[in-house]
Amino acid sequence: MSMTAGAGLDNGFTGTERAVLRALSDGRRRTVAEVCAELSAARSSVVHALSGLQAAGVVVEHPAERSARGRPARGWSLAASPGLLAVVVAAAHGFLAGVVRPDGEVLAAVHSTANLTPPAAVLELLNRAIAQAEISARHIELAVLGLPGPSLFAGTAGPGPLGGSHLRRFRDWAGRPAADVVGEHLNRPVFCENDANLAALGEAVYGESAAADTVLHVSLTHGTGAGLVIGGKLHRGGSRLAGEIGHLHVDDGGQLCECGARGCFWQTTSIPALLSELATAHGRTFSVSDLDAAAAAGELEIIRALRGFGRSLGRRIADFVVFLDPQAIVVDSTLGAASHVIADGIREAVDQYTPPQLAASVQISSGSLGVSAHLKGAAALVRTENLLVDTGHASVAGRPSGTAPS
C-alpha cells in the first residue's frame, strides 16, 4: 500500500487565501496584523482573504481580548483544530519516534540507540510514542520520516528514490520503502526529509536562533552532517545533498567511504571516531553520555579532545562562513555539555580562518532544543511547506475516509 497525498485544494481558493491558510495551519490564533507581517501582504488583501475563508467555514474570528492600551485586535484561527503529527527519525546511530502538534509542542518522544531492525522494532517505537502522548493513531493527521542521505522531500507524500546502496538499510525496510511501511501502519500520508535538515529547521524556527535569516545547524550525534535554513525554509540544493559536510574530501589516500568517494571528512572527524580515539587513549569505552558528564565536570583531558574536535570541524565550517556569511551556526545540542565545548572549538577556528568582519558577524552556539529539534523541525516542515493544507486538512477539505478524531 503506497500512501499518497490527498487531492489538495481544488475548491477555488485564491493564492492569498491559501497563503493565509498556511499562516494559520499550526492552529495558533493570530491577528490580521500578524498574518500581514508573516506573509508580507497588504492588509486589504489579507482581510479580503479572511472574509472569503470565513464565509466558506474554514476560519473563524475570535472576540478581541482586553489590551492595556490601544484598540484590542480580534484574532483568527482555523475553524477546526489541526491534527497531530507523528515523527520517525531513522539514522546511523539511533532511532527517534515522537508526536508533536503543528505549532511545535512536543507531546511525546521515545529514543533508542539500540541497533533496531526495521520495520517491526521501529513501528513498536512509534506505538510507544503514541501511547506516551495518550492518544490513538486516529488523531494523527500525517507523518514525517527523517532519513539520512539526499532529501526525499517532493511536496507530495510517498517514498521517493532510495538513494545509494549504503542508505538502503535506512530507507528500505524489509524490502519496502520506509515511507510505505509507516504510511500503511498509520493509514496516513508520510513525507520524507533528511534527518539533519529536520533538526536544522527545528532550531532555526523554534530555537534561540529563530531571529536569524541564515542558519547552519551542525548535526553530530546521528553522523557528521548539517542543514541550511535560509529565510525560514530549508535549502536542499540541486542534488538535495546541501549540508553533507561529513563528505567533504580531506585525504586522497583515505579509506573508501560508503558514499563511493575516498577520504571523507566524517571518517576522522565524527563523534564515533572521537569515542574510538578516547577509548584507545584511556583504555576503556566511552559513550556520548560520558562526553556530556566529563564536559560538565570540567575534566581537562576530555575538554581538550572536544575542543580539538571542534577546531577540526570549524576549519571546514570556516570556508562555509566565507561563502555564505551566515548569521548563526548552531551545534547539535543532544551531546549536552559537550556541545558547548565543541562550539567553542568551532568559534576558535572560524576566528582564525575567516576575515575578521565575517567572523564577528556570525553567532556560534550550542542548540537549545536537544532531541526535540527533529520533532519541532517536522512541525516547521509541515507549516513551511503547506503540508496540512495540501493534503486536505479537516477544516479545509475533510479528513481522509475512515477517520473520526474525538
Where are the chain's structural domains? Answer: 15-78, 84-197+373-397, 211-368
E runs forming strands in 153-224: 172-173, 176-177, 190-194, 214-219
Point out the least confidently predicted range of 4-13, 75-84, 312-321.
Answer: 4-13
CATH 3.30.420.40 fits 211-368, yes or no: yes
Q: Are 49 and 20 in contact (CB under 8 A)?
A: yes
Kindly state the helix (H) or strand (E) to which residue 294 belongs, with its residue range: helix 288-297
Q: How far apart are CA 46 and CA 33, in angstroms?
A: 9
Predicted local distance difference test score (pLDDT) of residue 71? 67
> Quick one: pLDDT at residue 157?
56
Domains 84-197+373-397 and 211-368 share a fold: yes
What's the pLDDT at 173?
Answer: 85
Residue scoring higher pLDDT (108 or 223): 108
Q: Tell me, what's the pLDDT at 406?
A: 32
Digit-coded pLDDT (tens) for 119-134: 888 999 999 999 999 9
Q: What is the pLDDT of residue 389?
A: 67
Q: What does the pLDDT read at residue 1?
A: 32
pLDDT of 251 reads 83
**Residue 155: left (phi > 0), alpha (psi -120 to 50), or beta?**
left
Name the phi and psi angles at 116, rounded to 5: -70, 150
pLDDT at 83: 84
- 382: pLDDT strictly greater than 60: yes
* pLDDT score at 363: 97
Where is average pLDDT lowest: 36-45, 101-110, 253-262, 335-344? Answer: 253-262
User: Is the peptide bond between 119 and the residue preceding it cis, with omega within 30 degrees of 0?
Assistant: yes
- Give 262: exposed, middle or buried? Use CB within 10 Å, 0-12, 13-18, 19+: middle
- With a cut of 70, say whether residue 111 has pLDDT above it: yes
Q: Is residue 167 predicted with pLDDT exceeding 80?
A: no
Inform me whether the pLDDT recorded for 244 exceeds 90.
Answer: no
Contact status, residue 195 vs residue 201, Cβ threshold 8 Å? no
Which pTM does this prediction carry? Answer: 0.81
Q: How far is the C-alpha of 287 from the C-alpha of 338, rounded, in Å?
A: 12
What was the pLDDT predicted at 8?
39
Pairing of strands 140-147, 190-194: parallel
Model confidence at 241, pLDDT cuts 50, 70, 90, reads confident
For residue 40, count other CB atoms closer than 10 A to its CB.
7
Mean local confidence (pLDDT), 139-162: 76
Q: CB–CB of 390/396 below 8 Å? A: no
Three-state DSSP at 100 gives: strand
Percent of the chain past pLDDT 90, that is, above it, reads 54
pLDDT value at position 400?
33
How far lies 196's CA from each of 66, 114, 220, in Å?
42, 20, 9
* Averaged pLDDT, 388-400: 46
Q: Is the pLDDT assigned to residue 137 strictly greater than 80? A: yes
DSSP code for 184: H
Q: Residue 289: pLDDT above 90?
A: yes
- Mean pLDDT of all residues in the chain? 85
The third-level CATH classification (topology) of the domain covering 15-78 is Arc Repressor Mutant, subunit A (1.10.10)
**Which whole-number Å values give the CA distances from 346 to 7, 218, 221, 276, 371, in the listed order?**
46, 11, 16, 21, 21
Is CATH 3.30.420.40 what the domain over 84-197+373-397 is classified as, yes or no? yes
